[in-house]
Amino acid sequence: MADPIPCPTCQALLRIPAGAAAVRCPNCKTVLPNPTASAAPAPPPLPFGRPPAAPNPSPSLSGKLPSAKPAPLPVAKAAPPPRAKAAPAPVPVVEAVEADETKKEKIRKELRKLEREEERAEEEYEELTDQCRNGKVAATILSWAMRGYALGVLLVVVGVGAAAFGPSGTGALYCFVALLAGGVTMLTMLVGFAFALGGPPAGRHLAIIGLVVVVMHAGCVGVQFVKGFADIAKERPDGDKYSWVETGRFLDLFGPVTNFTLLSEQPARVLKQYPLSVFGLLGAALEFTRLVILCLLAQNYAAAGREREVGHASMETVSRVFWAVLLAAMFRVSFAFLFDHAAPEDLWAKVGLGAHGALTLFTLLAIGLFLFKQSQILEDTAEACDPRRYSLEGERYEA
């Protein structure tokens, strides 16, 4: 016989006869299937797709058929408990202390590096502050130099007008003051460019060139002034009927102030084969170069200080003076061919003399106004020489 099995209801031990498919518990009347009984073989399949008949259940000991109960579901085996991780091996105290000291030393090195960088940044900012201070002084001095420059040009206009229409001696007085203003302008520009040598690096090379050009211009106009004074002392050549050409000798006297009007006369002198002013040409070239360098210096300072509009306005002064001289030269050539063929006593010659004189005055007046405008631009440039605008830390200054 098979081993007894416990009744799931009353826990009584039941013995199942050999070959029996099920057994009934005598205490609680529970029918238990024989777990050792093999399942009946399935019948062979019938033809024409008919399903096979269900197997007949074996009768129990009492002659009753067992009730069809589903087989119990298999119980899932519990997962084995996770293995406990092995505790790490204890680190020796000496190694832990050494690792801690290494981290601290690394942190100290990084802090020292940051301190050095901060000190270097402070030194660079202090140096930049000194440079901007010198640049601001240079721009301010050069702005006053431009005021003296413009004042001298306008005094030449007043002096020429007073010499032509005013009482005797008045024009000479204005011209003397204009020459004084021209000399002060050159000295002021020398001082301004000297301060620019210690200013921001963007303008140091221009400051060096500006000093050289100012010295060369001063020497050239000095020789021109002496030559003009000697020419005036000479008697007027016989047969020289072009009185506007004679004014060229007087314009040589105003070389320390400006040579732009004398420059505008040279094309007409070449075409009409009149005498030229060599030192006037050299002085005009150096004067224009000086103006270009000064405007470039203002543009570089303004661009470095994030005032690009000021720098653009500075270069507009160069273009305005250039076009004023060019237009004056074109009108001068036209007037020379239009009026110079007439005899000095004719009315047409007198009209031409007035046209030449008006052209000279308007040219000087326009250049003087342009130079006054440039002095205001240099004042704005001085305000742009701020270390907060120049430094990298001040990139948000505009906002």
Hey, what amino acid is at 128? L
Does 67 map to a domain? Answer: no
Does 285 map to a domain? Answer: yes
Q: Please, are residues 163 and 143 in contact by the beta-carbon 8 Å criterion?
A: no
Count CB neighbours of 223 within 10 A.
15
Does 380 map to a domain? Answer: yes
The confidence score (pLDDT) of residue 43 equals 59
More confident residue, 386 or 378: 378
Q: What residue numbers bound the domain in which 245 lies? A: 123-389
Percent of the chain with pLDDT over 70: 73
Q: What is the pTM of this model?
A: 0.65
Q: Please, are residues 17 and 23 in contact by the beta-carbon 8 Å criterion?
A: yes
Does 291 map to a domain? Answer: yes
**The two three-digit tokens of residue 360, written as one number:** 């000279």
Q: Please, are residues 152 and 391 in contact by the beta-carbon 8 Å criterion?
A: no
Does 343 map to a domain? Answer: yes
* Range scoring the smallest mean pLDDT among 74-83, 278-287, 300-309, 363-372: 74-83
Does 131 map to a domain? Answer: yes
- Mean of pLDDT values over 271-295: 87
- Give the residue among 81, 58, 72, 254 at the shortest CA–CA distance from 163: 254
Grade residue 159 by pLDDT with cuts at 50, 70 and 90. Answer: confident
The confidence score (pLDDT) of residue 145 equals 93
Q: Could you report the per-residue pLDDT of 214-269, keeping only the tens digit for each? A: 999 999 988 888 877 776 666 555 444 445 666 656 777 788 888 888 888 888 88
Hey, what amino acid is at 379? E
More confident residue, 215 or 99: 215
14 alpha carbon, distance to own chain's centre: 101
Q: Number of folded domains in the chain? A: 1
Does 282 map to a domain? Answer: yes
Distance, CA of 287 to CA of 265 (rounded, Å): 16
- Three state DSSP letters for 217-253: HHHHHHHHHHHHHHHHHCCCCCCCCCHHHHHHHHHHH
Does 42 map to a domain? Answer: no
Q: Please, are residues 190 and 211 in contact by the beta-carbon 8 Å criterion?
A: yes
- Mean of pLDDT values over 146-163: 85
The confidence score (pLDDT) of residue 373 equals 92
- Among 49-53, 111-115, 226-230, name the most confident range: 111-115
Mean pLDDT of the chain: 78
Q: Could you report the per-residue pLDDT of 329-356, keeping only the tens digit for each? A: 999 899 888 887 777 778 888 888 888 8
Distance, CA of 375 to CA of 183 (rounded, Å): 17
Hey, what amino acid is at 303? A
* Range scoring the smallest mean pLDDT among 22-36, 175-189, 293-307: 22-36
Place of tokens 């010295």: 215
